[in-house]
Structure 1
């Protein structure tokens, strides 16, 4: 789901010494924020198609634009925090903006039956506030975990694992609770899902505000995340709030334009990556070895796009599949389609320690980072092959066992555990210090691009007997649709396997 470090067995002895209480404050804050984000995401395309009556293609593209911008705005929020506000103020600001966004969505879902124009305005405004808030919250909460410990503290890996579990506890509870209250079969009830997400975000903000001063402190006892020291007068609070509203309005506008006027986001992301690449590789102070290692980051970021664009179908086409084509009736209870989005987080909590143990157990035979990523892509392809088999030759109107969907999510989670945990770590290892932040931006731009592509691919979901086409490949049914992802991820995996030895050699180059 989200990228982080995984606990290694050699860290267990250090973890037994205990962790700063500030870690658990950050754990709880992040858990409630992830509850908010994944809970809302679980019902977003259902709300768009069943309440607002958007067609699936438009809803899918809008979903991709929203999640793509969610990965873009942290670049701005991180910059503001580093230069002006500090982590604390940014986290609180981001949390409040996201809570306001959910309340706007609640208002939208309350009014769509009586005033569609106002409801549509509130809908785009709510998503815009969510995008802006995430930009301030997301890059700052994670960075504070490392600040709780002294450099070289061996408890750090286990600390990130605990934090990672907080992410996934929230990711599991959000779709479950929001789906329970909102995904009832009555579109009018979606408002309760947005309200539950708003309450969760407010709980996270309150927890952080009340406990940060006492517990979120560095190893020497100094409070963490304070504003950087600046010369001159501080900005007028009125101007600060006006700037926040302007930033949120810009996010609303960016989303609306991409969805309704011109789909520009893909081109913007590509231009940003090319611009950063030119800026870095034209730097004459970089050595030949440094440039080789940087090239590995760009190559792996390219392959990451194929993984996340297929993986993120969970919030779009796979939600349509769960709603319409999965047998969810247990006789005594019908499982909400949104609940299946909890599976990934549940599987991460169950299998992450097993994978961490496996890599250590393999010792010298442990695969290299690029090999692990190739394995992750192949497992993703296998997951889609499983569900493609499940729907093969199934007639119109026939629903298939939920075990096909559950099995697919298991393979996807195993793929994630092979690919995701090493991503950020690899960037940190290979990036020269002077370009560390810029190359991290490349990694997040790849994720943003993957989410935009995810929405475009989901818009090809065969609906009502209509055929769709992607690069000459025609899809007339669900089997052919899911085989598209088998082909994309499988081919990408094979190419990455072929490149593995060269990439490994380049990563360790000395001349």
Structure 2
């Protein structure tokens, strides 16, 4: 076909599209609205689910910290590895449209299983008691399907949007990607704030409502799929044209095979020169050489992502054990703190592009891409140093056991007088503890006493003393003695062993000591602990045995009341509130004592102090690592594009994505190895690992020779005709063929990147 025929056909195609539904607003296809809406809803569903995932694994499935971390990063690995499969499926077999539709169904099914699996079992959330083994298979299947779903559509949606534009619509395509990436961050920001609220503020079976928190993202994914399908009549669909990643892999395999089978003494300048040029073009071989030169610099990059993606695992677990109270601003959920990263990204990118980079240029400070990336790695290491010191400060707020050789003794005075304990006989030595008087009305005193068997006397003015009371104090134990008034005589049951340490999870733990004689209140007495604001949400009901302590049970924090349930002398069931307005807080341990003097009374005592360190102390580490992300991730996009031949840009996008996947494998291995018990030391270990990689990367950067990519006539002619097959996350463009609106044949300027990446950090 001659040039005149080409021009005429282009004119006819242009006129045909101009009159269509998709091209009535200044050349901007209106069908783009379906694609942008799909992306917003899909990102909402993905980040909403991912935000609460670690807490779900910890609280609902009862995994420990290390297992929860390992599962989280295994899931994240799947999300970053499967886009390669999605790109191959779209470019080689089904095309982008049918890949998006088919994989979205799998995606929806995964979300649905995640939501419904949490309802499995006769007693969901049985006070964090029995192992929820029935829920685990469904949850794991759901995570696998979600990873396949999100990975399958990642390389297709933005590319499919780029396909809707005509040749030469560079400005419109740039606008599309700006809107597209804004929708990405809007979805992720909103979901990261909303789904933790659905989890924590709505109660299901007296505990966090994970079915709802997973259910809303499931609904949004269904909406995303419906939106995309509704736009079907208006889409332009390109047939599959083969995947460049597959082509490159075959060419490399051919070169490796031929080099292995080469004749003795045969030497060529580069091992790719052994590739059979009768099968693969010389230009392809040349471009692969350029690509391999860049891939060499990718080797240390997974370590950065190993640190970065711990925001959703280890850093969330750190926040989980902090104080969420923000005063007049209410309470922040531990999984909500993750929103700080995308919020800061939107602030910092314009600052760097508009102020910091220009200032560095004016000061003639070296500011090349690899130097920026090295600085970004350094910031990531610094963020983990800060996280380590925050962890040390947090652990210092945990209750400490008595010193070796000592025990903790708590005496609670329920007698109607001021109580004076004494040792009988007195303990020898000048360091023997002296007992202060304990006031009435449930007052308590805590004492450090030497371990061993001791005898105590308790005296009160006007009361018959309790003498020769024996206590058995084990090494570093914590015991409680409760003194009551029995018809004018002091009395006490045997000591109660008390747990001084914090609950394993962040939710508070509680037990009840029943000091009443059931004969005085009727038969079949039980103590009912329930939510003061929602009486239907019972925390626990304890069978009341005189002078017995129940086991500790983990419960939701908040206000609670105490009721007695019993049958009176006529056999009628009675319920009587004996205490109200008591509060439990995250990380605390509590003993509730039910007793009676002239009337029923309840006292609540703190066994382990609740979490006291504010969650806001995490803000500095989030700020530092987000600064590192701007320097590393956005600049890495610049470096990859400027250093890759046009034909290899999509391959480098796939390789960049794999660095994220393998970074998560590093965390998975560390978590499962369980070699480091102290979390602060683990943070410092990652900081040190990142520091070592910074040195290695700096040396590699010093000796790196920047590629000079030739501008072939063929490439220049094709410029503007390629469809995007990319997706971006953490500043990364993902698998696919390049779009001229996003790429050039030379270096990408920081200004261009600012326009294209200001919304892309959370895709």
Query: What band does the TM-score fall into relative to the shorter chain?
Result: 0.7 to 0.9
The C-alpha deviation readout for 1:278-303, integer Å capped at 9, x for no partner, is 58954534799756633443233222
Q: Partner of 1:77: helix, strand, or coil?
A: helix
User: Quick one: structure 1 residues 344 and 225, their matched pair in 2 at CA, closer, same or farther if it must change by over 3 Å?
Assistant: farther
Would you say the 8 A contact 1:47–1:187 is kept in 2?
Answer: no
Scaled by the length of structure 2, what TM-score is found?
A: 0.51
Offset of residue 44 of structure 1:
1.1
Q: In structure 2, what is the Cα distance between the partners aligned to 1:299 and 1:128? A: 31
User: Quick one: structure 1 residues 399 and 300, their matched pair in 2 at CA, closer, same or farther if it must change by over 3 Å?
Assistant: farther
Whichever structure has more helix as a proportion of its residues is 1
Would you say the 8 A contact 1:169–1:345 is kept in 2?
Answer: no
User: Quick one: structure 1 residues 291 and 202, their matched pair in 2 at CA, closer, same or farther if it must change by over 3 Å?
Assistant: closer
Q: In structure 2, what is the Cα distance between the partners aligned to 1:147 and 1:318? A: 39
Would you say the 8 A contact 2:383–2:624 is kept in 1?
Answer: yes
Q: 1:144 aligns with which of 138, 144, 160?
A: 160
Which residue pairs with 1:167 in the alignment?
184
The C-alpha deviation readout for 1:326-361, integer Å capped at 9, x for no partner, is 221235633211101211111122222223324763
1:507 correspondence with 2:527? no
Which structure carries more relative contact order (alpha carbon 8 Å, separation 6+)? Answer: 1
Offset of residue 370 of structure 1:
1.2
Which residue pairs with 2:197 in the alignment?
180
1:127 correspondence with 2:127? no
Q: Which runs of 5+ in 2 are unaligned?
A: 1-25, 125-131, 243-248, 258-269, 276-281, 399-610, 711-763
User: Quick one: structure 1 residues 102 and 396, their matched pair in 2 at CA, closer, same or farther if it must change by over 3 Å?
Assistant: same
What number of residue pairs does the alignment pair up?
A: 432
Q: In structure 2, what is the Cα distance between the partners aligned to 1:89 and 1:60? A: 34
- Residues 290-369 of structure 1 correspond to what in structure 2 (within 5 A)? 290=287, 293-324=290-321, 326-331=322-327, 333-358=330-355, 361=358, 367-369=367-369
The C-alpha deviation readout for 1:37-88, integer Å capped at 9, x for no partner, is 1111111121112111122222222222211111121111111111232222
Would you say the 8 A contact 2:198–2:209 is kept in 1?
Answer: yes
Would you say the 8 A contact 1:292–1:506 is kept in 2?
Answer: no
Scaled by the length of structure 1, what TM-score is found?
A: 0.75
The C-alpha deviation readout for 1:96-134, integer Å capped at 9, x for no partner, is 221211110111111156495542221122112112212
Q: 1:400 aligns with which of 586, 610, 613?
A: 613
Q: 1:421 aligns with which of 610, 625, 634?
A: 634
Which residue pairs with 2:102 in the alignment?
93
Deviates more, 1:42-51 or 1:108-117: 108-117
Q: In structure 2, what is the Cα distance between the partners aligned to 1:430 and 1:29? A: 33
User: Quick one: structure 1 residues 449 and 289, their matched pair in 2 at CA, closer, same or farther if it must change by over 3 Å?
Assistant: same
Q: 1:38 aligns with which of 47, 60, 74?
A: 47
Would you say the 8 A contact 2:95–2:240 is kept in 1?
Answer: yes
Offset of residue 415 of structure 1:
1.4
Q: In structure 1, what is the Cα distance between the partners aligned to 2:622 and 2:92? A: 40
The C-alpha deviation readout for 1:398-453, integer Å capped at 9, x for no partner, is 54332331221122222112222243454344344555544433222222111222
Q: CA RMSD in A?
A: 3.4
1:374 correspondence with 2:370? no
Q: Partner of 1:224: helix, strand, or coil?
A: coil
Whichever structure has more strand as a proportion of its residues is 2
Q: In structure 2, what is the Cα distance between the partners aligned to 1:367 and 1:435? A: 25
Deviates more, 1:488-497 or 1:424-433: 424-433
Q: In structure 2, what is the Cα distance between the partners aligned to 1:300 and 1:276? A: 23
Deviates more, 1:432-441 or 1:172-181: 432-441
User: Quick one: structure 1 residues 165 and 18, their matched pair in 2 at CA, closer, same or farther if it must change by over 3 Å?
Assistant: farther
Which residue pairs with 1:5 in the alignment?
none
User: Quick one: structure 1 residues 413 and 19, their matched pair in 2 at CA, closer, same or farther if it must change by over 3 Å?
Assistant: farther
Higher Rg? 2
Which residue pairs with 1:203 in the alignment?
223
Q: In structure 1, what is the Cα distance between the partners aligned to 2:709 and 2:700? A: 15
Q: In structure 2, what is the Cα distance between the partners aligned to 1:484 and 1:293? A: 35
Q: In structure 1, what is the Cα distance between the partners aligned to 2:256 and 2:350? A: 40
Q: 1:442 aligns with which of 655, 658, 680?
A: 655
Offset of residue 180 of structure 1:
0.7
Q: 1:65 aligns with which of 60, 68, 74?
A: 74
Offset of residue 153 of structure 1:
1.6
Deviates more, 1:279-288 or 1:490-499: 279-288
User: Quick one: structure 1 residues 54 and 498, their matched pair in 2 at CA, closer, same or farther if it must change by over 3 Å?
Assistant: same
Which residue pairs with 1:454 in the alignment?
667
User: Quick one: structure 1 residues 393 and 360, their matched pair in 2 at CA, closer, same or farther if it must change by over 3 Å?
Assistant: closer
Deviates more, 1:136-145 or 1:330-339: 330-339
Offset of residue 374 of structure 1:
0.9
User: Quick one: structure 1 residues 281 and 358, their matched pair in 2 at CA, closer, same or farther if it must change by over 3 Å?
Assistant: farther
Offset of residue 375 of structure 1:
1.5
Q: 1:481 aligns with which of 682, 695, 698?
A: 682
Which residue pairs with 1:239 in the alignment?
none
User: Quick one: structure 1 residues 483 and 417, their matched pair in 2 at CA, closer, same or farther if it must change by over 3 Å?
Assistant: same
Would you say the 8 A contact 1:183–1:337 is kept in 2?
Answer: no
User: Quick one: structure 1 residues 399 and 227, their matched pair in 2 at CA, closer, same or farther if it must change by over 3 Å?
Assistant: farther
Q: Which runs of 5+ in 1 are unaligned?
A: 1-16, 215-222, 231-270, 461-467, 470-474
Offset of residue 201 of structure 1:
1.1
Q: 2:624 aligns with which of 390, 411, 414?
A: 411
The C-alpha deviation readout for 1:222-265, integer Å capped at 9, x for no partner, is x33444499xxxxxxxxxxxxxxxxxxxxxxxxxxxxxxxxxxx
User: Quick one: structure 1 residues 277 and 65, their matched pair in 2 at CA, closer, same or farther if it must change by over 3 Å?
Assistant: farther
Q: 2:114 aligns with which of 96, 102, 105?
A: 105
Q: Partner of 1:327: helix, strand, or coil?
A: coil
Offset of residue 482 of structure 1:
1.8
Offset of residue 393 of structure 1:
4.7
1:81 correspondence with 2:90? yes
Would you say the 8 A contact 2:397–2:613 is kept in 1?
Answer: no
Q: Partner of 2:170: helix, strand, or coil?
A: coil
